[in-house]
Chain A
């Protein structure tokens, strides 16, 4: 049924339709509306049987999910930003144990400086955690990906993160098609755990493993992610058949067929990117876009096929590897390794801490790329003057004070001017 609702509400209803049996939650913006809505659905009996646990930390949220999943319950939590980092030890443990937990990550920046707005620093920090990572472009896709995530997680016995841009999606009210319970029940089979804590068949889960077998056990995580590369498009196809719309999958191309300039992105920024592509097309450029919908496992073949014939690739990413450069860009280069006349890849770090990614700025960086002026790594809309003055202060003043406060003072946001 088509409804005009907030993204968080859509996700909460999608999760409820998946009939989770245990939900553990800790509040953190911008994820909070999701678990607030779920708490009400459990409390008023709409979602039953389901246990809703108000935990004392994100570390315990994931730990409760680990226990519940190991006991054979379909299990869900949601987090963001610092919360995701606080649960990291348990995040790795869940994937190591192969527990099919589904978690929404309402993407948000990581401090310091503390910042509650959207970027992808949180989820990208967990790219090697062993979790499958899906990125939603819209609220409809966020809803759809949750239905697919439970099926995927339980099929390959790995946990799945559904990443959706904080505020941009979670707090946006737009039209969403919310399926019926019967439709979801027809798509998502009951959870049949691969391993379960059962007094009638007692097993030890989480034993210590030394060098004699550790490599093999860890390799299995990798092997299962590789299997997910087949499962993800298959489940997306099944979803399209059941619900009549395309959602999920590994990648999605936009006007790619003859494109020699391709902009790559993840999540909600694809809307802006597609507008820029349309403008470029009108200007006579052969431009296209590639949405990476699944970042882990990395769809290397699909990315290679989509980008291999391009001449230049601009990767717009809302996170970066400090001291190295782009994260998605590095993966794109990996996909293009060995391609004859491979395109030049430009990493564009954009939208950090909620800074808007405007089509004007994207046009500028694409123009730079077209004219051979773009470097390997660009920080979009970076105020270089501010940065250089702060670097000079750091060189000249033995105690220049904290960077963030100095820059805010200089920008006139905090009083007094730089120290």
Chain B
């Protein structure tokens, strides 16, 4: 990592205690001179995890590039809520082309900059999980395997939220969406489907892959900063709570993202050239039920009958992540 990981155990809460830190350890967002790349006034829902994540990612990337940053955005919530004609929330050069081509558009920008000798200008591509892991996946994989000089960020809210909450390849098992409804003997999204885009990204052996959540924004900024230190294809997969699609309270965006990580359902890690180099350990393990219960997309697991069988299957997925990534290991022992 570019700088020592800040730990907040001493605070007693999990709130990000910027004010307890030395100024140089505070978040980019805490800096009054931050670039406000995604400025206020946009039309995201209250409690939108994607808007939060994008703001942190882009301001950190703007700081890392000293303001020489160009963004290519996929179609989706982020594009729609930020650019209703004739307004734009973007305070950086920003282009939206299509749903499934943001990685290739970013590649084109990077190629143009290279041809023009503007090595100090950097390129970021971004989209939701639909634009990244489904319709844009071919373009993403092509960008990865060519090792194009692009940081691509997926804001993963686990479904097609902009079109009204349909299933994507990132929707978790049992989740209710408009196309995997909570009806029949096996309500919600089927088990045994879906994909891990970060693991597939790692299989390309690109220089840097990382996951993060909007629950740990210090960590998110650190990973952006680390990614911006590297040239070539980089991938950052950020879990962003969607109050609308997940049926969670707007005030719970951070809490639910944290529960996703602490339950083991969303492993937070970094990898370089295909090898995992760090994992965010689970500090307070929680059963998956704690994560599932506050979300209406999982309500059919709790009423009218408690589906302990399904919850156990989800717990098994979390346990597999915990074992696979060593999420409960003692870091001293690991070392």
A204 to chain B, nearest CB (A): 4
Q: In the complex, A211 Cα to B293 Cα: how many Å? A: 41
The answer on a CB contact under 8 Å between B96 and A205 is yes
Per-residue 0/1 for A34-67: is the Cβ within 8 Å of any B Cβ (1 yes, 0 no)?
Answer: 0000000000000001110111110110011111
Let me know if A73 and B121 touch, CB within 8 A.
no
Which of A71, A72, A75, A202 has the most chain B CB atoms closer than 10 A to its own CB?
A: A71
Which of A60, A205, A206, A209 interacts with B139 by CB under 8 Å? A60
Min CB–CB distance A197 → chain B (angstroms): 4
Chain A residue contacts of B141, Cβ below 8 A: 56
Cβ proximity bits B227-260 to A, threshold 8 Å, 1 near / 0 not:
0000000000000000000000000000000000
- Give bound CA distance, A75 to B115, whole Å: 11
Q: Is B97 a contact of A63 with CB atoms below 8 Å?
A: yes
Binds B, one of A3-11, A89-97, A336-344: A89-97
A197 neighbours in B (Cβ, 8 Å)? 70, 93-95, 109
Residues of the B chain whose Cβ atoms lie less than 8 Å from the Cβ of A64: 104-105, 107-108, 111
Q: Which residues of B contact A51 (CB under 8 A)?
A: 111-112, 114-115
Q: Which chain B positions have C-beta within 8 A of A60?
A: 101, 103-104, 107, 138-139, 142
* Contact call B109/A70, Cβ cutoff below 8 A: yes
**B67 beta carbon closer than 8 Å to chain A:** yes
- Tell me the smallest distance from the CB of A138 to a CB of chain B, in Å: 32
Chain A residues near B88 (CB, 8 Å)?
Answer: 204, 207
Residue of chain A at shortest CB distance from B148? A53
Contact of B104 among A67, A69, A72 (CB under 8 A): A67
Q: Give the CA-CA distance A201 to B70 in the complex, in Å.
A: 11
Q: Are A67 and B100 in contact (CB under 8 A)?
A: no
Shortest Cβ distance from A278 into chain B, in angstroms?
48
Given A22-B115, A56-B141, A207-B88, A68:B109 Cβ within 8 A = yes
- Known contacts: A57-B138, A199-B93, A202-B90. The answer to whether A75 contacts B67 by CB under 8 A is no
Q: Is the interface of B mostly helix, strand, loop or mixed?
A: mixed
- Kindly list chain B residues whose C-beta atoms are within 8 Å of the C-beta of A97: 97
With contacts A67-B95, A199-B69 taken as known, whether A208 is within 8 angstroms of B84 at the C-beta atoms is yes
- CB A285 to nearest CB in B, in angstroms, measures 52
Q: B49-71 vs A: 1/0 string, CB under 8 Å?
A: 00000000000000000011110
Q: Nearest CB to that of B144 among chain A residues?
A: A56
CA distance A210 to B92 in the complex (A): 23
Is B19 close to A, CB under 8 A?
no
Residue-wise interface mask of A (231-270) relative to B, using a CB-CB cutoff of 8 A (1 in contact, 0 not):
0000000000000000000000000000000000000000
Residues of chain A within 8 A of B277, CB atoms compared: none
In the bound complex, CA of A70 to CA of B116 (Å): 13
Are B93 and A66 touching (Cβ within 8 A)?
A: no
CB neighbours of A75 from chain B (8 A): 108, 112
Task: Select from chain A the residue with minimum beta-carbon distance to B99.
Answer: A89
Whether B85 pairs with A210 at a CB distance below 8 angstroms is yes
| Chain A residue nearest to B139 in the complex (CB) | A60
Q: Are A206 and B84 in contact (CB under 8 A)?
A: no
Q: Which residues of B contact A322 (CB under 8 A)?
A: none
Alpha-carbon distance between A68 and B207 when the two chains are bound, in angstroms: 23
- Quick one: CB contact mask for B290-327 with A, threshold 8 Å, 1 for yes? 00000000000000000000000000000000000000
B100 and A59 contacting across the interface, CB-CB below 8 Å: yes
| B115 CB, nearest partner CB in chain A, Å | 4
Query: What residues of chain B lie closer than 8 Å to A59, measured between beta carbons?
Result: 100-101, 104, 138-139
* Residue numbers in B under 8 Å from A21 (CB-CB): 112, 115-116
Distance of A376 from chain B, by nearest CB (Å) = 39
Residues B130-151 near A (CB distance < 8 A): 138-139, 141-142, 145-146, 148
Cα A65 to Cα B101 in complex, Å, equals 11
A69 to nearest B CB, angstroms?
7
A67 touches B72 (CB 8 A): yes
Nearest-CB distance from A49 to chain B (Å)?
Answer: 5
What's the minimum C-beta distance from B122 to chain A, rounded to whole angstroms? Answer: 9
| Closest-CB distance, A194 to chain B (whole angstroms) | 14
Least CB separation from B68: chain A residue: A199
Question: A63 and B85 in contact (CB under 8 A), knowing A49-B117, A51-B114?
Answer: no
The A310-356 residues at the B interface (CB cut-off 8 A) are none
Structural contact, A208 and B115, CB atoms closer than 8 A: no
Tell me, yes or no, whether A371 is within 8 Å of chain B by CB: no
Tell yes or no: A382 within 8 A of B by CB: no
Chain B residues with CB under 8 A of A69: 108, 112
Cβ-defined contact, A63 with B98, below 8 A:
yes
Indicate if the CB atoms of B106 and A67 lie closer than 8 Å.
Answer: yes
A281, B225: Cα distance in complex, Å: 76
Contact A71 B91 (CB under 8 A): no
What CA separation (Å) do A24 and B101 show in the bound complex? 14
List of A residues within 8 angstroms of B101 by Cβ: 59-60, 63, 66, 89-90
Chain B residue contacts of A68, Cβ below 8 A: 108-109, 111-112, 115
Cα-based distance from A57 to B95 in the complex (angstroms): 21
In the assembled complex, the CB of A51 is this many whole angstroms from the nearest CB of chain B, namely 4
Q: Among A56, A67, A204, A212, which residue has the most Cβ atoms of chain B within 10 A?
A: A67
Q: Which residues of A pack against B, CB within 8 Å? A: 21-22, 24, 49-51, 53-57, 59-60, 63-73, 75, 89-90, 93, 97, 197-199, 201-210, 212-213
Inter-chain pairs besides A60-B142, A63-B139, A204-B95, 11 sampled, C-beta below 8 Å: A24-B111, A49-B115, A55-B104, A64-B104, A68-B108, A68-B115, A93-B98, A197-B93, A197-B94, A199-B93, A207-B84
12 contacts between A and B (CB under 8 A): A53-B108, A53-B146, A53-B148, A56-B138, A60-B107, A63-B97, A63-B105, A63-B108, A71-B108, A202-B91, A204-B83, A206-B95
Instruction: Across the A-B interface, give the 3 residue pairs with the lowest CB-CB distance, nearest first.
Output: A67-B108, A56-B142, A63-B104
